[in-house]
Homo-oligomer: A and B are copies of this chain.
Amino acid sequence: MFDVFKRPAVRLEVPRLKPRRAPDQALRVNLAELTPELVPYLGQAAYIQLAIFEALARALMLAPSVGAKEALGPASGLALEKHERLVAELRRLVDDPAVVMAPFAPAIDAYAAVVRGVDWYESLTSVYLTAGILDDFFILLAAGLAGDVGPKAARIVDSATGREIIETLLADAIAEDDTLGSRLALWGRRLVGDTLLVARSAIHHSGNVRTDEQRIEPVFTELIAKHSRRMDGLGLTA
């Protein structure tokens, strides 16, 4: 009866063990020209980590069992910690970090509402996939920042997320329910566009639209490839 919802038996072949360092290096060179100033970078990155924290806390609240709640605690704590470490960097540069973050709040809050999802499964899929894309992007973007703070900010965004547990929680749920897998595969694909718009909003445009797009395109291709690998890890067809 539910055959139509079944995932195809053949998955996309994704090369998991390809060395990541070389292409990332090239992408960083591309992005260097598009890097925003340090203060707005930190403000937007910090507010995004706060939004990731809120999404994880919401997933924790919606969790169907105490065990699942428990599993999401560490990831929530680590997102909050990343937010607070970025705010601490901001506080070295400005008096009131909230003033720097505030201009980014309306767009990110609206985005968070769109990718929120209708239940625990969509909420959990969303935070795993969207935080994955946004972390990848802000790590790449940090490479063009001036001074020591760039590498430091990249290390903060790149630090442990505790989100691996979400893969287990979702893979278990999907294994029990075929229709869930096809619903979440659709949901996972829908998230990409809005998330890349948030990434795009962080870019400092040079004025030459064609050159900018030529630089952005390979970066987004790489973000989507990494996203597809995360989808695949959940057992979802990207």
A residues near B (Cβ < 8 Å) are 47, 50, 53-54, 57-58, 60-61, 65-67, 69-70, 73-74, 76-77, 80-81, 83-84, 87, 96-98, 101-102, 105
Complex Cα distance A74/B85, Å? 12
10 more CB-based (< 8 A) A-B contacts, given A70-B101, A73-B83: A50-B73, A53-B57, A54-B60, A58-B61, A67-B98, A70-B98, A73-B84, A74-B84, A76-B80, A77-B77
Take A77-B84, A80-B76 as given contacts and tell me if A70 and B54 are in contact as well, using a CB distance cutoff of 8 Å.
no
Complex Cα distance A176/B228, Å? 51
- Does A50 lie within 8 Å of B77, measured CB to CB? no
Q: Within 8 Å CB of A83, what residues of B?
A: 73
Chain B minimum-CB-distance residue to A101: B66
Number of copies: 2
- Does B58 lie within 8 Å of A70, measured CB to CB? no
- Does A81 lie within 8 Å of B77, measured CB to CB? yes
- Does A105 lie within 8 Å of B73, measured CB to CB? no
Q: Within 8 Å CB of A96, what residues of B?
A: 67
**Shortest Cβ gap from A209 to chain B (Å):** 31
Q: Within 8 Å CB of A73, what residues of B?
A: 50, 53, 80, 83-84
- Does A97 lie within 8 Å of B80, measured CB to CB? no
Take A58-B61, A61-B57, A61-B58 as given contacts and tell me if A50 and B69 are in contact as well, using a CB distance cutoff of 8 Å.
yes
Take A47-B66, A66-B47, A105-B66 as given contacts and tell me if A76 and B98 are in contact as well, using a CB distance cutoff of 8 Å.
no
Complex Cα distance A65/B102, Å? 8
Q: Within 8 Å CB of A53, what residues of B?
A: 57, 73
Complex Cα distance A57/B58, Å? 8
**Shortest Cβ gap from A62 to chain B (Å):** 10
